[in-house]
Amino acid sequence: MSGYQKYWFALMAGAVLPGLDGNGHARAEEAISWQGLHIGVSGGAALPAQNGRAFQAVDGYPQDGLFNLAPPPGDVATALYGVHTGYDWQIGSLVFGIETGFSSFRGRGGGTAVFATGSGFIESGATNYVFVPGQRADYFGSLSARAGFATGRMLAYATGGFPTGGSAGEGSIWLNGVAFDAGKSGSLQTKFLAGAGIEYAFAQDWSVRAEYLYLDLAPNKQLFVSEEGASFLLKTHPADHLLRLGLNYRMFPSEPPSDDSAKDDAAAEERFSVHGQMTLIGQTYPRFRSLYQGPNSLPAQAGIDETFSVTTFFGMRLWKGAEAYLNPETTQGFGLADGYGFAGYPNNEAFQGGSTSNNLHFQRYFLRQNFGLGGEQEKIEAGQNTLEGMVDANRVIVTIGKYGVTDIFDDNRFAHDSRNGFLNNSINTMGAFDYPADPWGYTFGVTGELKYDRWSVRSGVFQLPDYPDARTFEMKPRTGYEAVGEIEERHEICDQPGRLKFLVFANDAHMGRYDQALALAALTGEPPDITALHGRHVKVGGGVNLEQQLTDSMGMFARASWANDAYETLAFAEIERSFSGGLVFSGSLWERNEDIVGVGFALNGLSDAHATYLGRGGLGMYLGDGGLSYAGEHVFEAYYRLGLADGIHITADYQFVDNPGYNRDRGPVNLFALRLHAEF
C-alpha cells in the first residue's frame, strides 16, 4: 500500500472507527452525554433455566402425589427480539435511568420430558414420555431501572425491574399409553428481571449495547385431563438466561445540568417525589334477619373483617412535560364475606381474593405526557402521583400504562376516595359504570385528555378481563377492551366552583345474556347459569356526575348512571341503574379545621331479566341467595373523620343497607367501621 493510500485509509478509518485518529493511531475517547430520551431495538437468544416442573395428582392418579420431571430436552434456546425506550440522567460519571420495553420469543415451543425414575409411581428404568408444547413464556413487557458508570464513550451498568406477560399453549401428555389434554392456561404473573451490560456510543446520538438478563416469571398451572376423567396439574416456573444485543438512538440528548441550573430548575419544578400512605379498616355487623341464604350471600350471623394497605408513590420528571410513576403496595386482609352479598359493597378498600399475609403488588406504573397549548399557566400541587410545577392551563395530557380507570374518569371531589371519605363503592363511583379492574382496582390502558378553558374532553381504551370476575388480570393481546369517554364542564354558582360531567362507556368482551341463560334453564330444568353461554358482545352505559361547592364549609355531590341490562357484569358491581348523592361538611364550622363529616346515599337497581335470573337460583359475580324477592337496594352512609395530626386521621363510619343484594327477604344490615389513615 502506497503512502498516499495509507493516508486516505487512516483518514477514513478515523471518521468511521471511533478508536482511531486521522493518522490511524489510537486516540483518547472523548466523553459524551448519556442524558436524554432513547429508543432502540434488540435481538438475541433466550436459554431456558431450570423450571422446577412437577406433576400433582388431582383425582388420586398417580396415588402418591407430587413427581419431579427432568427438564424437557426439546426446550432449547430460542430467538429473542424486541423494542424499548427509556430516559437517562447523568451526574458526573454516574448514569441513572428507567426503561420500558416489549420482547417476544420466536418459535418458542415445548419438547419431550421424562419422569424422574425412583419417584414411586414410575419404576426405575421405565420409559414414560411426556410431550408438553407451548409451556413457556412467549412474550414479556418490562419496567426496569439501571445504574452505571461512564468513562469516555463506554457505559457499564447493572439493571433490574419487573416483567409481566407470557402465555402457555395447549398441551398433551402420554403416560403409559393414556392421553391427557389441556387447553391454554392463564398467562404468567409479574416477578423480576435482573442483569448487567455494556453500552458503547459510536456517535453522539447512537450507541450499541450487549447485556445479560435473568428473567424469572412466577409459577404457572395447567390442568391435563384424560377421557376417563383422571387429571394432572402441571406446575411450571419459567426462567430464562437472556443474551441481547441492542442498537439505541438518543432522540433528545442533552448535557447534564450544571449545579447552578439544577438549583434554578428545582426552584421552578419538582423533579422527584416520594409519598406514602397506610390505611387500616375494621368493619363489622350484628346478626340480621334472613329467611334463607345461598352461596353468594352475606352470612346472617354477625361478622367482622379487616383490610390493611401500605402504598409508596414514586414520581420522576423525565423530559419536558413527561412524568413517570410507580406505586408498589402491600395488602392484607379480607372484606366482609369476601366481597359477596351486596350490590353496593360497603368497603371500597376491600380486595377480592384477600390474604392473611402481606402481598406486594405493583398497582400502578404509568407515563404521563403534557403538551402545552400556550396561554395562561396553572400550578400543579405536589401530591400522590403529581409533581409540583407550572403547566399550561390549556393542554393535552396523555397517560399510558397500568392505573385505575377512576384515577381519571368519574372523579368527584366529595365522594371518590375510600381512604379519606365514604367507604361504599356505589357512593364513591357511578354504580352502573362497569369499568375494568383487577381485584385491587387497576388495569392497562391509554387515555388522552384535552383541557381547554372551562371544558375538558377525555377518552380512553382499557383492557377488560378474559372473563367476568377474573381474579388474575394481566396485559395480554387480543382480549376484551373498554372504550370510555367523558366531557367535563367547570362553572361557578354564586362564586362557588362546581363541575358537571357526562360519561359513556362500551365494553367489547365475552359475556353472557340473562335472557339466554333463562331460556336454557327452562329447557334443562336446572338453575340458570350465565357462564355457560358466553359470547362476544358489546355492553354500553353511561352517567352524569355533579359536584358543587355550596359554601366555604359545605359541598354536595350527585351521580346517576345506567348500563345495558341484557348482559352480565364484567368487573365492577351488579348494578344496572343507580342514583347517589350527599353532603360533605368541613370541621371549620365547629372550629375543627382538620375534621370532616359526610352523609350520603345510594339507590341501586337491576333489570327484570337479571332479577328473574337471581330469583330462579342463578349465581352472579357477587350475588346469589338461591332465590330472590326483588326490591331495590338502598344504602345510607355517614362518617366523622377526626384529624389527629397533619396527614393522620381516624374515621368512624356507619352504613344502613336495606334489601342487601336486592332481596327484601334479607336484612336490613347495620354496618360499623373504624378507619385509621396516615399519609405524607
What is the residue-wise DSSP string for 568-588? Answer: --SSS-S-SEEEEEEEEEEGG
The H-or-E segment that residue 6 falls in is helix 3-16
* Residue percentage of the chain with pLDDT more than 70: 75
- For the cut 60, the answer to whether the pLDDT of residue 600 exceeds it is yes
Tell me the range of 356-360, 416-420, 527-531, 536-540 where mean pLDDT is highest: 416-420
The H-or-E segment that residue 524 falls in is helix 514-524
Cβ-Cβ contacts under 8 Å for 15 (sequence gap 6 or more): none
Kindly indicate the confidence band of residue 171, based on its pLDDT and cuts at 50, 70 and 90.
low
- Region 154-169: mean pLDDT is 81
Kindly indicate the confidence band of residue 536, based on its pLDDT and cuts at 50, 70 and 90.
confident
- Region 350-376: mean pLDDT is 79
Q: Classify residue 264 by its DSSP letter.
A: H
- Region 37-62: mean pLDDT is 67
What is the DSSP code string of 276-343?
EEEEEEEEEE----BS---TTSPPSS-EEEEEEEEEEEEEEE-STTEEEEEEEEEEEE--GGGG-S-S
142-156, 191-205, 252-266, 375-389: the lowest-pLDDT one: 252-266
Cβ-Cβ contacts under 8 Å for 262 (sequence gap 6 or more): none
Q: Of the candidates 192, 191, 182, 81, which has an alpha carbon nearest to the alpha carbon of residue 134?
A: 182
- For the cut 50, the answer to whether the pLDDT of residue 198 exceeds it is yes
40-54, 124-138, 406-420, 602-616: the lowest-pLDDT one: 124-138
227-231, 371-375, 382-386, 475-479: the lowest-pLDDT one: 475-479
Q: Output the pLDDT for position 556.
A: 96
Kindly indicate the confidence band of residue 73, based on its pLDDT and cuts at 50, 70 and 90.
very low
- For the cut 80, the answer to whether the pLDDT of residue 258 exceeds it is no
Q: Sign of dihedral through CA atoms 118, 119, 123, 128?
A: negative
Kindly indicate the confidence band of residue 451, based on its pLDDT and cuts at 50, 70 and 90.
very high
Q: Output the pLDDT for position 25.
A: 46
Using the structure block, give the residue that is written with the C-alpha cell 387497576. Answer: 442
Q: Output the pLDDT for position 275.
A: 93
- For the cut 50, the answer to whether the pLDDT of residue 132 exceeds it is no
- Region 509-522: mean pLDDT is 86
Residue type for position 556: M
Cβ count within 10 A of residue 23: 12
- Region 574-600: mean pLDDT is 93
Q: How many angstroms separate the first and last alpha carbons of the chain?
A: 73
Beta strands in 512-595 (DSSP E): 535-551, 554-563, 577-586
The H-or-E segment that residue 426 falls in is helix 425-428
Of 310 and 131, the one with more pLDDT: 310
Of 604 and 62, the one with more pLDDT: 604
- For the cut 90, the answer to whether the pLDDT of residue 595 exceeds it is yes
Kindly indicate the confidence band of residue 263, based on its pLDDT and cuts at 50, 70 and 90.
very low
- Region 483-504: mean pLDDT is 95
Collapse the DSSP code of 613 into the 3-class scheme (helix H, G, I; strand E, B; otherwise coil) and give the result. helix
Q: Which residues of 247-263 are buried (b: 16+ CB within 10 A; e: fewer)?
A: ebebeebeebbeeeeee
Using the structure block, give the residue that is written with the C-alpha cell 500500500. Answer: 1
Length of the chain: 680
Q: Output the pLDDT for position 483.
A: 93
Tell me the C-alpha distance between 300 and 303, whole Å: 8
- Region 618-641: mean pLDDT is 92
Tell me the C-alpha distance between 333 and 450, whole Å: 39
- Region 6-16: mean pLDDT is 39
To the nearest whole number, what is the mean pLDDT of the chain? Answer: 80
Residue 668: cis peptide before it, omega within 30 degrees of 0: yes
How far apart, in Å, are the Cα atoms of 187 and each of 75, 103, 417, 440? 18, 15, 31, 18
Q: Output the pLDDT for position 475.
A: 56
Tell me the range of 32-41, 170-179, 214-223, 581-590 where mean pLDDT is highest: 581-590
- For the cut 50, the answer to whether the pLDDT of residue 544 exceeds it is yes
CB 303 within 8 A of CB 340: no
- Region 449-476: mean pLDDT is 79
- Region 181-209: mean pLDDT is 79
Q: Output the pLDDT for position 8.
A: 37
Kindly indicate the confidence band of residue 118, based on its pLDDT and cuts at 50, 70 and 90.
very low
Kindly indicate the confidence band of residue 639, based on its pLDDT and cuts at 50, 70 and 90.
very high
The 10s digit of each residue's pLDDT in 387-443 is: 999 999 999 999 999 999 999 999 999 999 999 999 999 999 999 998 888 778 888
Q: How many degrees, rounded to 5, is the angle at CA 645 between CA 347 and CA 650?
A: 25
The H-or-E segment that residue 514 falls in is helix 514-524
Q: Output the pLDDT for position 427.
A: 95
- Region 593-610: mean pLDDT is 93
- For the cut 70, the answer to whether the pLDDT of residue 9 exceeds it is no
* Residue percentage of the chain with pLDDT more than 90: 40
- Region 206-230: mean pLDDT is 79
Q: Output the pLDDT for position 200.
A: 94
CB 277 within 8 A of CB 363: no
Using the structure block, give the residue that is written with the C-alpha cell 444485543. Answer: 245
- Region 281-287: mean pLDDT is 93
- Region 73-101: mean pLDDT is 83
